[in-house]
Homo-oligomer: A and B are copies of this chain.
């Protein structure tokens, strides 16, 4: 019996085995800190919804209520609204995807598609291969169904085909059952890098020849800053890829509307899983998004978002250049994140209390690995704070990094480092770090 709990919990011995794997992510603890107004948060991944024309959204709400109120307020289909599914095809066409609305399943954010696909495929002990680093809450989902997560390395051009090949071979040699490859090929979370076109083809071929399903998660693909990224993996392989999309970054996350485009047989099971889980996704949210897409220049709005995030990315890169020229970081061409590499001897998680003291928040690199890697990495988000705050945040981060380096220079080898760090912890964390 491995279920978590404690003696104060009368149901301690009743939980399912999988429940032992559910734990608060490191990002979760940060949200409490990041929400304090005096903290510059370079953690979290909240889109800048204030860039939306709120009066236009208001018009849409009004129209949906007047014209389709009785549908919007009612239960809908487990697959999602038919018109919205057609419109989703138009959105995906921008990334080279051709599909049928029959194969689209609307979900409660693309996060729920991740959960449902994992529920459909993962037996305890099955392997999911994920990029290292990978999206935190995807790994939380995989673990919650008792998957074994294995990483394949990435570099500035995305997942490395040879690393994937080696990982698959070694897992197969160990008799492991690999269920899928989870990847964010475009503007990855957290690394900010994009898989090249050549590698896309190569990775699809590797997965095809090894009978491994690809789970392509693409929340950021339309938010490019320079040239458009390569087309989606799904654009070249419709039988081997489950594609996940969302309106959370191109419109707003508050509606919780995402989708999966899945091979036909999987799609059928996904609908059943969706119905079991929520009966139907919110009709109201779906009709609002459908009306918004039909009546608004939504592509123009995505251009607006691109401009906002490009400016913030530029501010972050400039600040890094100015303040931390000795470090290295990725240069994202879209999305929300920069991946920063600290000197080897620094531990970004151990350094977090100091960062909080300096009123800056970030996500430690270890959050994005299942195997404890990433100690000297940091994910920096540029999506939410204004350029000035981003610069100020990097300035504060610089103090944190330098302070930590000094601490190490002073105490390393003396055996006193943990004592000092303990003191620092005692002084600095605010009461709302949970």
Q: Which of B17, B62, B239, B272 sits near A123, CB closer than 8 Å?
A: B17
Encoded as 1 (CB less than 8 Å from any B CB) or 0, chain A from 60 to 81 comes to 0110011001111111111000
A227 an interface residue at 8 Å Cβ cutoff?
A: no
A120 an interface residue at 8 Å Cβ cutoff?
A: yes
CA gap between A273 and B119 in the complex, in Å: 13
Determine how many copies of this chain the complex contains: 2
Q: Which residue of B lies closest to A255 (CB)?
A: B284
Q: Which of B23, B115, B122, B281 sits near A272, CB closer than 8 Å?
A: B23
A19 an interface residue at 8 Å Cβ cutoff?
A: yes
Among the stretches A44-52, A228-236, A348-356, the one at the interface with B is: A44-52
| Given A119-B144, A121-B16, A255-B284, residue A57 in contact with residue B46 (CB < 8 A) | no
A-B contact pairs, 5 of them (CB 8 A): A54-B65, A58-B66, A71-B254, A75-B248, A256-B278
CA gap between A126 and B17 in the complex, in Å: 11
Among the stretches A7-15, A188-196, A312-320, the one at the interface with B is: A7-15
Encoded as 1 (CB less than 8 Å from any B CB) or 0, chain A from 276 to 288 comes to 1111111111000
A160 an interface residue at 8 Å Cβ cutoff?
A: no
Q: Which residue of B lies closest to A58 (CB)?
A: B65
**In contact, A15 and B269 (Cβ under 8 angstroms):** yes
Contacts of A74 in B (CB 8 A): 46-47, 49, 252-254
A419 an interface residue at 8 Å Cβ cutoff?
A: no
Min CB distance A239 to B, Å, is 6
Encoded as 1 (CB less than 8 Å from any B CB) or 0, chain A from 11 to 32 comes to 1101111110011110010010
Q: Count residues of A near B (Cβ-Cβ below 8 Å).
A: 87
Q: Which residue of B lies closest to A55 (CB)?
A: B65
Contacts of A248 in B (CB 8 A): 75
A365 an interface residue at 8 Å Cβ cutoff?
A: no
A109 an interface residue at 8 Å Cβ cutoff?
A: yes
Q: Which of B4, B17, B277 sits near A111, CB closer than 8 Å?
A: B277
**In contact, A75 and B57 (Cβ under 8 angstroms):** no
A141 an interface residue at 8 Å Cβ cutoff?
A: yes
**In contact, B111 and A279 (Cβ under 8 angstroms):** yes
A266 an interface residue at 8 Å Cβ cutoff?
A: yes
The 3 closest A-B pairs by CB, nearest first: A9-B265, A73-B252, A254-B283
Q: Which of B76, B140, B179, B265 sits near A8, CB closer than 8 Å?
A: B265
Min CB distance A6 to B, Å, is 7
B-contacting residues, A103-124, CB 8 Å: 108-109, 111-112, 115, 119-123
